[in-house]
Structure formats: structure tokens, C-alpha cells
Amino acid sequence: MRFLCLPGAYGSSDKFQVQLAPIIKELTEDGTATFHFINGPCKASPPEGFEEYFGKPPYFRFIEPDEDVEKTDDDDVLSRIRDFPDCETPEDTMRELMREGVATSHRSTDNALKYLVDIMEQRGPFEGIIGYSEGATVAGTLLLHEQRRAMKKGIKPMFKYAIFFAGWPPVDPETHAMVLSDETDAMIEIPTCHIIGSLDPYVHGCLALYNVCDPDTAYLFDHAKGHTLPRDKDTVRELGDVVREAIKLYDIHV
């Protein structure tokens, strides 16, 4: 299986390869998978106080506030992660996070989708997609875009499997609204694997993403840590087995 890999906000293709290194080793040694890493299309600067957390530059994002919006420090949704809400349900938490005052990113989302479709056409095909954090949100949005395009234009979707690390819900590619399970019937239809950390302060975002995927083929994998990628040997081996089993179970040709 060949995966297209989307890093998190303020990450890069090089940093994501380092973060995923144990999993890459697990899935390449037996020929299960290969990986193609990309940067986000937008150059970025981390929020003040987070520079050391994201390592050395360069930094990239897939989504940023639209340029024609008069911004304040609180406009960018990522600036609100310092005070991430904790409501009764994952969907309520995400609604509170996106409360009035968040700058739109409609143009940026459209540009990100075009950027990814171009990569699919030029560097594909890919059978799977992997996204971490913001990369998972964008991957989910791309999968919805593929589903809509198939329905309206008859273009067969490329991706057959998705792995989401610490992701948040996708954005509707047409309305640009966050897709939440208690507001819409929209659903990511391909098999998915959701790697979450029960200690992740943003775990409600991960669960809201899980809730908009097909419950019959969505697999929840808890590595019991925070907003990180699993690296210990036993956990990585277990995750590798989950991926191999999914390929076999859903007859995903590689």
C-alpha cells in the first residue's frame, strides 16, 4: 500500500518522517507499505511560546485564515488550543472551539484541496492516506471531496484506506462548515484507523473525527499518551498488525 502522508500544522515532510519512523520501519520491512511525504502549501510561524515545541524551521500549514480578513490574535483557530474547551460531547467541544470570532479559511481550504489533487495526479496513485493533527483534518476533507466528486462527476476515488493520528473533524468541501455527526449525515465512507491518546488534551477533536466515519469500518486505537505519535516497540507492532489486518479484511489491493 502506498500512503500519501500529511504532517500537522507547523510541521514539514522531514519532521513527519522522523515522527513516523518506527511505524515506517514496521510497515516497510515486510513490504506492507511505502510512504510519500509532502509539506503543506502555506509557510507559517508557530504561535508565540510554541516555537520550541515545533522544532526548527521551516514550518508549513495546509490551512490558514483568509488574507482579506482583519485578524486579531484570537482569529486563528490554532491560537485557541491554549484554552481548549471540554464540553459534554466531542461535538459540543468543537462547536465551542469554533465559536464566533474565528476567521474564515474558505479560500485556503479550496487551495489546499487543489494542491493535494495536483499531487495525486502527478505523484500518485496512492491507496492510502495518513494525516497527523491538521493533516488529518485536511485528509478527511479530501476524502469527502473525493466522495462528492465521484457522485457528481463519476470520478473514481483514489484512496481506499485512511489513518488519522490525533485528528479533528473534516471541513465540508462545499459549505466549508466543520462536519459534525450530530449536524449532518455526511460521512467518510472508506475504512479508517484512528490513533488517539487518551491523555491528549484535544482528544474530543479525535473522537469527533471518529464519529463522522463509517462506524462499521472505523477502528479506534488508543496508545494511552498525549498529542503524539506512538513510538514504543510493542505499540508500533500492534498498530502494524491493525493495518495489515485491515488490508486483508477489506481486500485493499496494493
The one catalytic residue among 105, 108, 133, 181 = 133
Judging by beta carbons within 10 Å of its beta carbon (0-12, 13-18, 19+), is residue 95 exposed, middle or buried?
middle
Q: 78 near 64, Cβ under 8 Å?
A: no
Q: Distance from CA of residue 14 to its chain's centroid?
A: 17
Of 228, 170, 164, nearest to 198 by C-alpha is 228
Q: 46 near 76, Cβ under 8 Å?
A: no
Amino acid at 221: F
Residue 133 annotated among the catalytic residues of the structure:
yes
Q: 211 near 220, Cβ under 8 Å?
A: no
Judging by beta carbons within 10 Å of its beta carbon (0-12, 13-18, 19+), is residue 118 exposed, middle or buried?
exposed
Tell me whether strands 128-132 and 2-6 are parallel, antiparallel or unpaired: parallel
Q: Which residues are catalytic?
A: 133
